[in-house]
Structure 1
Amino acid sequence: MRTTIGYTVESIGYVIAAQGLVGFASQTFFGTEWGWLHKLVDLPPAAHLAVLAAGLALVAAGVRTRKTPRHRQAA
């Protein structure tokens, strides 16, 4: 079960991080809006960096959960 949860959290983290990165890059370098996030909320570039950080935190949590060894109970 931990493996499934780890992969799921990690996958969601990648999507969130990508939206933060694309939103930041599009506003900062091109002056346009890319991605899906701008359709939900209007964020400044600094907030997109916070979304990127949150996504990377989810990725790290998913990897850590996935790599946690299972504890065996003594029989």
Structure 2
Amino acid sequence: MDKATYEIVSAVGWISAVQGGLGTAGRLWGEQPWGLLHKWWDIPTPGYVVLLAVGLAIALTAEAGRKRGAKAAPGAPGA
């Protein structure tokens, strides 16, 4: 994958993780979930925890892949 693809996948992962974290925190320490997702869907607390974990996994995998690609081919286009 090229650098732009890693950037997009990483951004989607971080946004998902933040929404999962906000939803979980809002359910645990507030009256309702925080973030945007609760405005469209009624997601249970374990769903927010899964969203946080999957978002982190996607973001960290994309970041690692981007760094690995930069080390493997320092002169290659998109690295």
Structure 2-normalised TM-score?
0.78
| Contact in 2 for aligned 1:17/1:56 (Cα 8 Å) | yes
CA displacement at 1:5 relative to structure 2? 1.0
Q: Using CA pairs below 8 Å that are at least 6 residues apart, which structure has the higher relative contact order? A: 1
Distance 1:58 1:2 in 2: 16
Task: Describe the SS at the equivalent of 2:48.
Answer: helix
Matching residue of 1:40: 40
- The number of equivalent residue pairs is 71
| Unaligned ranges ≥5, structure 2 | 74-79
Distance 2:21 2:35 in 1: 9
Distance 2:28 2:45 in 1: 7
Matching residue of 1:4: 4
Distance 2:39 2:31 in 1: 16
Percent sequence identity over aligned pairs: 31
Matching residue of 2:14: 14
Matching residue of 2:62: 62
| Unaligned ranges ≥5, structure 1 | 71-75
Structure 1-normalised TM-score?
0.82
Runs of 4+ with >4 A deviation: none
